[in-house]
Structure 1
Amino acid sequence: MVNITKYRDRLIHYIDPVARVFAKMGLTPNQLTLISLLFGIASAALYGLQHAWLAAAFLLLSGLFDFIDGGVARINDKASTFGAAIDWIIDKYVDCLVLIGIGLGGLADMRIVAIAVFGSMINTFIKPVTYAEIGFDKKEDGKIKDPLEGIGIFGRPETAITLIVLSLFDQLYWAVVIVAVMTNFSALQRIVYLYTHMRQRDRL
């Protein structure tokens, strides 16, 4: 399995034509991030009502708008520290709300949903802790670029793709199992990476 986030810079060029349309419409990156959140909330609610296919469509739209907001920020040169932070926060809100919606809708065991939510959060939480303790500060288009970006085989894009695809086959139970296992495994990969690569700095 490939970490899609690792190839963000290559993939973002494919979405540029769409981002340019929204940029010309005058929508700001933060407005697009808010739209992404609203689609995410709608997706969670639809999963809770057991409308899995429609929920998957809204989750896809949420992901697309989340991707587009960065393109608009770059095109209009409106990248901001607040925008980068709120984008990250809203991403986690959407991830957790959708998983909880799936659980509340009875489409997956809530105990497994809890593990999936934990994995999703800790896999992301490792990064800000690393920034704070190690001090990565290199930024591109308003976002921090660090070695952890490409570490771990299962991140947010893989989570969304798994939920969307398996929603179409009415296999959300297994989708959540996969997310629960793989996000936690990905978090362990990042911990191992930090241990093997960053301990050398402590010896200096």
Structure 2
Amino acid sequence: MISSTNIKAKTQELLRPLAQNLESIGVTPNAITFLGFILSLLSGILIGVGEVLSGALLFTLSGLCDTLDGILARVSGRKSSFGAFLDSFLDRYSDFFPLAGVCYFAHVNQDSLLLVLTLLTIAGSYATSYARARAESLGVDCKVGLVERPERFFILLFALFTGYLLPTLSVLAVLTNFTAFQRLMCTMRELS
């Protein structure tokens, strides 16, 4: 949804000067990708030990890196197949770490419902990403879906900053899996 709107283009234009400055001092897109990965890992650890706001701040910076690495690749002319693969590969871990932190937080606080909802969100997030990748490997363009990665990021960020973990994860658990099944149906129609 966000990916197909002007929001993405405006954000990229806003971050272009930062990317140009980073390029001028020799920062590579892969370094930004890896930094985002590390920030996401630290975010998950902080969330897990109950430092939810600190974790949310690092998660925000991780998301900034996730946007910035692609802009930097275009600005610097360093787009590569391996860079695109590395970005997608590490994105899966970056998606996992904050949610794993919420799982641990739920476990420590004996909140079984939050734990189950977070696990369902993880499953739906991975099924959504996998469905698109697998469909594309079969020649199907399957970018449909109500809650893609940017939407999941902002919804989880809202939960972390507001503390409304249970209601927000309830929504994410439903919407991530709904999106995965939207992609299943899209692929089924295209391949029928």
Same-fold status (TM-score > 0.5)? yes
Q: Which residue of 1 aligns with 2:135?
A: 130
Structure 1 runs (4+) deviating above 6 angstroms are: none
Separation in 1, partners of 2:138, 2:158 = 37
Q: Relative contact order (C-alpha < 8 Å, sep 6+): which is higher?
A: 1
- The aligned residue for residue 97 of structure 1 is 97
Alignment of 1:31-180 (within 5 A): 31-106=31-106, 109-134=114-139, 147-149=141-143, 151-180=144-173
Instruction: Report deviation, 1:198.
Output: 4.0
User: How many residues in Structure 1 have an aligned counterpart in Structure 2?
Assistant: 185
Provide the rounded CA distance (Å) in 1 between the counterparts of 2:27 and 2:181: 38
For structure 2, the residue ranges without an aligned partner over 5 or more in a row are none
Code of the residue aligned with 1:184 in structure 2: it is N
The percent of aligned pairs where both chains have the same amino acid is 25
Checking the alignment, whether the CA contact within 8 Å between 2:136 and 2:142 is kept in structure 1 is no
Deviations 1:78-120 (A, max 9, x none): 0111110110111110111110111101276222221111100
Letter of the 2:25 counterpart: M
5+ residue gaps, structure 1: 137-146, 200-204
Indicate whether 1:21 and 2:21 are aligned.
yes
Q: 1:4 aligns with which of 2, 5, 16?
A: 2
Letter of the aligned partner of 2:161 in structure 1? L
Q: Which structure has greater helix proportion?
A: 2
Q: What CA distance in whole angstroms lies between the structure 2 residues aligned with 1:79 and 1:36?
A: 18
The CA distance in 1 between the partners of 2:163 and 2:136, in whole Å, is 39
Residue 60 of structure 2 aligns with an amino acid whose one-letter code is L
Distance 1:104 1:166 in 2: 16
Which residue does 1:139 correspond to in 2?
none
If the length of structure 2 is used for normalisation, what is the TM-score?
0.89
| RMSD (Å), alpha carbons | 1.7
